[in-house]
């Protein structure tokens, strides 16, 4: 019984809602060589839907230059829908009142363009790059 209480305490301690990314040192700076993840950013509003760039990953291109590839999340007052497996470095653009155009990026390079439905988050490939 004691081990269950310990597990519950450990799980609760891990759910404090702290920001993502590496912890800053005591002076408030990130550890050397480690970039802090940018905060969630509202980049577009279409009707009631907000298009947000959220968590992501640091990447490098073939020359070693770095970028931060971010996922896309569609938010309304009551819902949050992640666009599956679509990381980008550029804000999506509005196509019409029901969809947006987003570029899929891998290793800091655009590899495909997708149409994303705002109601479901479903991406449909428009073209390869």
Chain mean pLDDT for the chain: 81
Asked which of 5-14, 51-60, 76-85 is least confident by mean pLDDT, the reply is 5-14
27 confidence band (pLDDT: 50, 70, 90)? very low
Q: What is the pTM of this model?
A: 0.70
25-49: average pLDDT:
73
For residue 109, is pLDDT > 50? Answer: yes
Extract the tokens encoding 97. Answer: 């009142």
């Amino acid at each position: 019984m004691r081990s269950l209480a310990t597990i519950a305490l450990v799980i609760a301690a891990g759910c404090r809602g702290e920001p993502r990314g590496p912890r800053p040192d005591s002076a408030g700076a990130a550890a050397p060589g480690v970039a802090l993840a940018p905060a969630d950013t509202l980049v577009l509003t279409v009707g009631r839907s907000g298009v947000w760039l959220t968590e992501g990953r640091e990447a490098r291109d073939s020359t070693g230059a770095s970028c931060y590839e971010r996922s896309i999340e569609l938010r309304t007052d009551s819902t949050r829908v992640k666009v599956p497996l679509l990381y980008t470095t550029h804000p999506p653009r509005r196509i019409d009142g029901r969809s947006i155009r987003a570029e899929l990026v891998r290793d800091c390079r655009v590899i495909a363009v997708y149409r994303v439905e705002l109601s479901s988050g479903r991406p449909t490939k428009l073209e390869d790059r």
